[in-house]
Structure 1
Amino acid sequence: MSDVSSPKAPGTADHLMFRILPHLVLFAVLLLIWEMAVRTGIITSIIIPAPSKIIGAIWELYVTKGTIYRHFFITFTEAVVGFAIGAGVAVTLAVCSALWDPFKRYVSPYAIVLNVTPGIALTPIIIAWFGYGMGSKIALAAVISFFPIFVNTLTGLIQRDEDREELFRSIGATDAQIFRKLRVPAALPLLFAGLKIGLTTALIGAVVAEFAQATDGVGVLMSRFSFQLNMAASLATLLSMTVIGLILFYSMEFLDDRIVFWRRESRGAAASRAKARAWKSRMGQ
């Protein structure tokens, strides 16, 4: 039996590296130009430090001293808990609004008023209500993350496919079954789009509250370094905020890929094969 090796598919690791390599080269060139501009005095190092200084500050924050971890965990917790509260309230109100039109007429204006009010302006009031601890940061994160989740969820739920609903009714489906098995799955793509926005805005709310008044958190750490004119450490802390945002965003992206699998052909095909195997196994029994 001859051993014939099949050609590699476009989605292999080599193909992925081929796609990423130009971006890595461009990034390295930009860092080199930045480093040389600072070393030659074209850019003032006090304002924009050299990449080597920022890398040194990152090494100090994460390895030598390890001061970032406690602040990282606090900000991460504030953003996630605030998002969970804001998302829970937003989805609940959106579902109630979709099921009962008078409820939507009364709730929507208040949601719009909350959205057009700048979150920074709410910060002193929320701190006065919840104090200087973690509660005020969680509250502001919940308030800021509420509106995009509410609007996206409501928009997805009120978009109705009359033909599909008629098909469901023709086979005897009740209104509750139509809502649960048709309207909710159809709204999931918009829901997850709102959750991604809400999760990143929750981080913004937590950091803004830390800037206003806090003793711990990545925002506090960045403010301290900025007041000391330690711009390398300040930018290193800013990159840590970026890492938190990426972790949050791609966690929601992962859930989106797994739950709303039918939007991606490969995931839909894999789910179909899994159901086919389960059906064959059940029939074999």
Structure 2
Amino acid sequence: MTGSPSRTARIAAPLGFLVVLVVLCEVALAAGWVSSFVLPAPSAIAEAFVDLVSSGLLWVHLKATVIETLAGFAIGAALGAITAAACSLSPFLRSMLYPYVISLQVTPLIAIAPILIAWLGFGYGSKIAIAALICFFPVFVNTLAGLLVVDPDAREMFRSLGASRRETFTKLMLPSALPVVMAGLKTAMTLALIGAVVGEFISAQNGLGLLVQRFSYQLATADAFAVVLVLTLLGLLFYGAMELLDRVLVFWNHEDRLNARSRARAGRDGTGTSSSTPQHAGTVTTGSHPH
């Protein structure tokens, strides 16, 4: 019962804020405080969104962005996880590769993107490479950190039982690291979408990034905002899918959180009873003690 209001509030608060924001935008535009050329009305954006969907123009560009994002994420995440696993097993390899990984991460992606497009062309390949590069680092860092931070007592127990390095890795290190790895994958999934759109901004034949750029050049701001809305919904869909995968693969982590919340709630509910019990017990003891 106590959890229901807070859950309702978590849903109602952002929805209420969105409604207020939409109403304020419509009022500001109707009153002439803001030019519709700068900020189109939410109703105009909704109309442009419906036109995009019904005309079929959206689907060609949406397909390109989804392919680039998912392929880039799969390649970047796989390379990041494999490299991190190898580095966790070999300190020499870790010390050799880590500086190059950091150097790649601190290099602005926007500077690398034109080079990749020159190498791989204007098709899917260059955008997939950009998406893979941008999502490599969070998966690598989180996986490496998760694999290295393993309970020393558990590692010693595996060693005393005669477990091989492979058994220690698959049965101890990997399950222990999984919550941290999933956090990196969730970050990488959204970054892969950003990488694909950045590549489409620079040069592309299809894609939502290209569509935003085209509408902006044509000063069709309502249509540009409608495509941005599609990108937002797509990013939320990708993140939600990763969150669902996290709950399935790391189910014990979420069960622990639920149990902790239940214990905390039970403790709050039982505070009044527990505080009155010692007082009553003290009265009985004092009264029965012989003087």
C-alpha contact 1:262 1:268 (8 A) present in aligned 2: no
Counterpart amino acid of 1:60? D
Higher Rg of the two aligned structures? 2
Counting only pairs closer than 5 Å after superposition, residues 250-265 of structure 1 correspond to structure 2 as 250-265=240-255
Counterpart amino acid of 2:33? I
Instruction: State how far apart, in whole Å, the 2-side matches of 1:216 and 1:137 are.
Output: 11
Which residue does the alignment assign to 2:90?
A: 100
The change in CA–CA distance for 1:264 and 1:59 in structure 2 (over 3 A counts) is same
C-alpha contact 1:261 1:267 (8 A) present in aligned 2: no
The change in CA–CA distance for 1:228 and 1:92 in structure 2 (over 3 A counts) is same
Which residue does the alignment assign to 1:28?
A: 19
* 1:264 partner SS: helix
Residue in structure 2 matching 1:189, options 172, 179, 186:
179
* 2:193 partner SS: helix
Alpha-carbon distance, 1:24 to partner: 2.3
* 1:57 partner SS: helix
Q: Could you give the per-residue CA deviations for residues 226-246 of structure 1, whole angstroms, max 9, x where no partner exists?
A: 011110110010011111111
Instruction: State how far apart, in whole Å, the 2-side matches of 1:155 and 1:9 are.
Output: 37
Alpha-carbon distance, 1:199 to partner: 1.1
Q: Once structures 1 and 2 are overlaid, which stretch shifts more, 65-74 or 37-46?
A: 65-74
Instruction: State how far apart, in whole Å, the 2-side matches of 1:268 and 1:36 are.
Output: 43
Q: Could you give the per-residue CA deviations for residues 183-241 of structure 1, whole angstroms, max 9, x where no partner exists?
A: 11111111111111111111111101100011210001111110111101100100111
Which residue does the alignment assign to 1:168?
A: 158
Answer yes or no: is 1:235 the counterpart of 2:225: yes
C-alpha contact 1:75 1:218 (8 A) present in aligned 2: yes
The change in CA–CA distance for 1:175 and 1:141 in structure 2 (over 3 A counts) is same
Alpha-carbon distance, 1:82 to partner: 0.6
The change in CA–CA distance for 1:22 and 1:202 in structure 2 (over 3 A counts) is closer
Counterpart amino acid of 2:51? E
C-alpha contact 1:200 1:245 (8 A) present in aligned 2: yes
Residue in structure 2 matching 1:159, options 149, 152, 162:
149
Please, what TM-score do these two structures have when normalized by structure 2?
Answer: 0.84
Instruction: State how far apart, in whole Å, the 2-side matches of 1:243 and 1:52 are.
Output: 17
The change in CA–CA distance for 1:191 and 1:236 in structure 2 (over 3 A counts) is same
Which residue does the alignment assign to 1:245?
A: 235
Alpha-carbon distance, 1:73 to partner: 1.4
Equivalenced residues, count: 259
Counterpart amino acid of 1:140? I
Which residue does the alignment assign to 1:80?
A: 70
* 1:206 partner SS: helix
Instruction: State how far apart, in whole Å, the 1-side matches of 2:188 and 2:254 are.
Output: 23
Instruction: State how far apart, in whole Å, the 2-side matches of 1:103 and 1:266 are.
Output: 35
RMSD (CA atoms): 1.9
C-alpha contact 1:261 1:268 (8 A) present in aligned 2: no
Please, what TM-score do these two structures have when normalized by structure 1?
Answer: 0.86
Instruction: State how far apart, in whole Å, the 2-side matches of 1:165 and 1:17 are.
Output: 44
Which residue does the alignment assign to 1:89?
A: 79
Instruction: State how far apart, in whole Å, the 2-side matches of 1:18 and 1:173 are.
Output: 50
Residue in structure 2 matching 1:56, options 47, 51, 64:
47
Residue in structure 2 matching 1:110, options 100, 109, 115:
100
Instruction: State how far apart, in whole Å, the 2-side matches of 1:247 and 1:209 are.
Output: 21
Instruction: State how far apart, in whole Å, the 2-side matches of 1:167 and 1:232 are.
Output: 62
Residue in structure 1 matching 2:120, options 107, 117, 130:
130
The change in CA–CA distance for 1:127 and 1:42 in structure 2 (over 3 A counts) is same
Runs of 5+ unmatched residues, structure 1: 1-7, 270-285
Instruction: State how far apart, in whole Å, the 2-side matches of 1:262 and 1:30 are.
Output: 39
Residue in structure 1 matching 2:61, options 71, 83, 95:
71
Q: Could you give the per-residue CA deviations for residues 33-84 of structure 1, whole angstroms, max 9, x where no partner exists?
A: 1101011110111010111111111111112x13111211110110110110
Instruction: State how far apart, in whole Å, the 1-side matches of 2:47 and 2:126 are.
Output: 33
